[in-house]
Structures are given as structure tokens and as C-alpha cells.
Amino acid sequence: MIRDSRLSSVLHGLLHMIGAGEPVTSEQLARAMATNPVVVRRVMAGLREQGLVRSEKGHAGGWTLARDPTDITLAEIYRAVGEPTIVAMGHRSENPGCLVEQAVNDALGDTFREVEALFLKRLGAVTLDVLAKDFKRRLAKHKQSLEDQIHAIK
């Protein structure tokens, strides 16, 4: 099954925007995400409609975060990218007259709903800010590791 990477993709872009401190162009985001500027605009358009980001045209234009990262949950971003399908499985038929199919759909449907609820709950518990801080930790660690290597050479 092909997996939808819009959420992953847009989070990547948003973290880059937080790090930049100035408008980031679709071109720059596309390079960072190894994709196409049009794809970036397409997915960012959803975030703009929800008021999560702003876009400016012309010189020094590009994308900026419109709200405080401590206030944006991943759940909100998930909704803004169009609520992609969470569970990759489904029923054969949604309106079955067959009682066997009803029994199957009910049993699986309950599980699907539970799983989706857990997914949304977890996303709702994480803010963009948390991801940004995690990134900074990684960056600091990476820097330290490089410095250690330099010392080892001296």
C-alpha cells in the first residue's frame, strides 16, 4: 500500500520555517523536502486556509508561521492537510444487507475507530514547539559530536 506522506512532509516544512525566522520560499522548502515547489504550495495551501501559515508574494516573499508553535498541535495540522485516511484497511461494502457482512464490519469498524481515536489523541498531545525543541536537541548533540571528533584529531 502506498502511504500518504503529506503530514510528514508538511511538518518537515514547518520546522524549517521555524528555524528560518524569515519567509521561506516554496523553492527552498521543496529543496529541503526533496520534492517540487508546486507540491509544497499545494499542501501548504491547506494550512493557510486554516490560518496556520501565511504566504506573501513578490520579493522577500514566501511562507511564514502565523501562530505560536506552542499553540499548534499536530492534530490541527493533520486536519489542515485534509485529514488523510488513517487506517489503510476498510470494508468491502459500507451498506451491507448481508448479516455476515454486518457482523464483520461491526467488529472491524470498532477496532478501526479505536485506532483512529488513539492516533488523533496522540497528535493532539504534541505541539509543533515540542518537535522544534527536539530538533534543537539533535542539532546540539550533532554539533557536540563534531567538536569531539575535532578534539580527537588534535
CB of 143 to DNA, least distance (A): 29
Please tell me whether residue 21 binds DNA under the rule CB under 7 A. no
Please tell me whether residue 20 binds a copy of itself under the rule CB under 8 A. no
Residue 106: how many CB atoms within 10 A of its CB?
Answer: 11
CA of residue 80 relative to chain centroid, distance: 9
Nearer to DNA, 48 or 130 (CB): 48
Nearer to a copy of itself, 38 or 98 (CB): 98
* Cα–Cα distances in angstroms (integers) from residue 9 to residues 35, 43, 88, in the given order: 9, 9, 19
Binding to a copy of itself in span 50-109, by CB under 8 A: 74, 84-93, 98-108
User: Residues near 131 by Cβ (< 8 Å), separated by ≥ 6?
Assistant: 11, 15, 74
Task: Out of 26, 28, 29, 33, name the contact with a copy of itself by CB under 8 A.
Answer: 33
User: Residues near 28 by Cβ (< 8 Å), separated by ≥ 6?
Assistant: 16, 62
CB of 36 to DNA, least distance (A): 4
56-61 long-range contacts, CB within 8 A, separation 24+:
56/23, 60/22, 60/23, 61/23, 61/25
**In this structure, are residues 9 and 43 in contact, taking their beta carbons and an 8 Å threshold?**
yes
Please tell me whether residue 151 binds DNA under the rule CB under 7 A. no
Tell me which of a copy of itself, DNA, none is bound by residue 83, counting a contact when its beta carbon lies within the kind-specific cut-off of 5 to 8 angstroms. Answer: none
Please tell me whether residue 105 binds DNA under the rule CB under 7 A. no
Site residues for a copy of itself per CB under 8 A = 1, 3-9, 11-12, 15-16, 19, 32-35, 74, 84-93, 98-108, 110-111, 114-115, 118-119, 122-123, 126, 130-131, 134-135, 138-139, 142
